[in-house]
Structure 1
Amino acid sequence: MIRLLSAYRETWLKFYLSSPQRYLMKKNKTKPTLINSYQKLINISCDLASELDLNILLSKIVNAASEVCDSEEASILMFDPAKNTLYFQAATNLDTGLKRGLVVPLEESIAGWIVKNQEPVIVDDPQKDTRHFNSIDSITNIKTDSLLGIPLLSKGKVIGVLEVINKRGGKFTQEDQDVMLALGAQATVAIDNSRLFLQSDLIGEFVHQIRTPLSALNAATHLLKSNRVDDQQKKKMIDIMEAEIEALSDMSSAFLDLARLQSGRKQYSVTEFSIRELLSECYDIFYSETQQQAIRFNLDIPDTLPRVTGDRKQLKQAFTNLLNNAVKYNHEGGEITLKALAKKKQVIISVSDSGMGIPEDEQSLIFEKFYRVRSHRDLVPGTGLGLSVVKQIVTDHGGAITLTSEVNVGTTFTVTLPADK
């Protein structure tokens, strides 16, 4: 909180002290508006300082930018130095087609110019500016008539770009830019804090979770070194070690997936695709396994299912995670149903099973990192991360996931995604 207010104070002083003549010349005209904007920033700084969920934080930042600059839209593009690319991470109106993860070229965009020059910019007519990434207007169905963008700088390095477009009732001004720089300073500190908190939180949980398999490996190793075990016991110890190594590998992979998703550094490859074809592929993946376990696997998907826009690979991972759970927690002779339907500009997909079910008092915890149902832990191997990954992917695509379950009857997970028009 202190760092946020300090960032705000420094920018406030810079604004007033760097251009006193300009301020005095426009004192009567602009002072009330400027004071109002900076009063809003004080309130915003408190709000940002208290938010540690990165996605919620970024949403608050773009909403604040749109409010203080009186713009139609605002967005944050994060910079990936490893790939030298920019990608949208948050926007005030995702329904316009601006999807999280959409990649913007560094060399052919105003945002890219901001990253390379580490300077803010005001563009009164982007349509006539050769740096404008024209494809974005067709993707979002919004014409960019004016633009103000600033770099988000952390320790002298650009981590992203904050943009507002289409000023209501006029053009963006130098005062708008100064207010945005103040907001950007606060936003950058809040983003850094959120990432640090997430990193320490995830590492702490991961270290805690790997203690059990590491303890089992340590015990097995000591027994093998003791020479007090026969060949049959040695084989058993080796089997235990192989199982625990596989568990560590699975946990590490799931942990990395979740860490990338929650850190905001995961880039989605956004395309329009047939959700029907994707679900059919998921069905084919698990069909043989269900037949081997004598599980009846039903597929109920209409031919007229609308297409969706998103990262096909990530959504496929989400649905395979759900189906994998449906198989793991089922029983011989059980049943699984993969169903989809269209309703009110949405696609609703459900995965139902006739498995163990989840007790009512644990259902609210099932999407928490590393959480596993108490009665399942000794019966079915798992990392407790699969459903966290599913929820993060679905949420990032503007969707939602819910569940209904009854012990010894079964569980249904329902995913709702926005459908293309």
Structure 2
Amino acid sequence: MSAPIQISGRTRSIWLTQLSLAGAVVVIALMVMVLAPALFGQPHFLVGTALVLALTTFTIGAPWARMPKNAVIAIPFLDAIAIGLLSYSTDLRLGFLWAFPVMWAGMHFRVPVLAAMLGVIGVLIGFDLFYGSASNTALRAFVVLSTLSFIGITAHLAMRQVRASRRLMVRQSRRLHATVERRSEQERRTNEILNVVDIGVARVTTSSSTLSINSTYARLYGIDPRDPEQPARSVEYSGYRGMPVPPSDRTLARARRGETFHDQRVWIYTIDGQWRTLSVTAKRLRSSAHEDETILLLVHDVTAVVQAQRDRERLAAIASHELRHPLTVMIGTAELALEDEAMSPKAVERFQKLLDASERMLEMTQQMLGPRSAVRSGTVVEDACPREETDLTPILVDSVASYEQAGHAKDVRVSLSTSGRLAAVVDGFRIRQVFDNLVSNAVKYTRAGGTVDVSAGREGDDVVISIADTGIGIAPEDLPRVLTPYFRTAEAKKTAGGTGLGLGITQEIVHAHDGVLSVDSVLGEGTVFTVRLPAPTDARGSEGTA
């Protein structure tokens, strides 16, 4: 089957212009044949009609696409001559047909061509005026020529305006096309970026349409990313192995209603048979006045985090449960020993310290099993500390005294320097845990003959406690991580055993009291830990008054 012939816009324009004139001439010829057949006896009328038809036939058959662009100029000039023959020595006033070639010249060619066309028509009118037999007058000839001139000028100016508008539209179209291309490229790059992140992203509107989803969202919810409007195959549940969330209460449906929420926890059962825990956030995006409101859904897969948290809670529960029995035995044994009146004062002091330490340990294990405990980053810290204004000096004195014996056994001198009452709004039990961790670490990592100096005082609006030792120190590259749970330096592992949890717990307790824990150390020379806690407001005022 042959391919259809392609006709250019220029060729089609030439055809339509010439066919319009030919149609008018054919209609006139038919009317003349009926009403005034004598005109066909005049050779000039017959030749003029035949010339228009011949030019039309040539116009239809000429390969204009392969001919020079200006070759078509000859057609309107020959048409003007043919019309001159038609109107010569007749009273039919066929000169109005000159409007066709004049408009052709005015619309498609420059002013010189239009002027030449009007000049040819003027010559033809003059020839008819002087040599024709019709009742033509000079005024009539002038009116015809003037009218044709205005028609040509009007057509020329109108076409110029059309061409200018066309060029403007072409430029605007190109600019718009370039803008669309840039927008498409930006959207493509944005989609590429969103498809590589491990966060599910969906854009929805309040008109209940889903604009786009990334590959992570599509994978989690079992949706074809090419058709985001299809229903999700992964169902949301209110809890692990719980009840399905009603369709109207699911996160996507709520976002389509324009709701916003943060860290909405849902569980889904995926199409591959896995339970996933999701944290879903819906945020409202800025939209223009003529756009529907857009909501951005951000879906984080927190399954691993939740599972790790459960494992840590389970481990903490098991550990605390297993510690309670031996601690109860230790407390009972120490209490029985203290009832012996024959015991020496030194032994009584030692058993009392053992009893106090065991009771603190038992209280910590009970809090680990209590409803207020929360496991974070491998450490167990209460969500809310029961705070009250407390004098830190007795707590610090008792803590240092608890480790003097351990220091004496290692030939490490432990000293304390305080400046009287040091009030702070704290949980005394937890702050004692901070002091115990820092002093015990200082004694543990200080070699024989070293010192551990504990000092406390006021600096401005803060209570400052400093624990300085002459121990093994910390390398500069390890300082940023020394407060991280489970982290231990290579030198610490060689010197003493441990889990690396103590400093992490200490830092969380200090932060829970709106305080700051800082560390300064030189490898091989020693370490200084500093605890800063805010003093009570009334204590600040009294100090300023004094």
Give the structure-2-normalised TM-score.
0.34
Q: Could you say which structure has the greater relative contact order, defined with CA pairs below 8 angstroms and 6 or more residues apart?
A: 1
Q: Return the TM-score normalized by structure 1.
A: 0.43
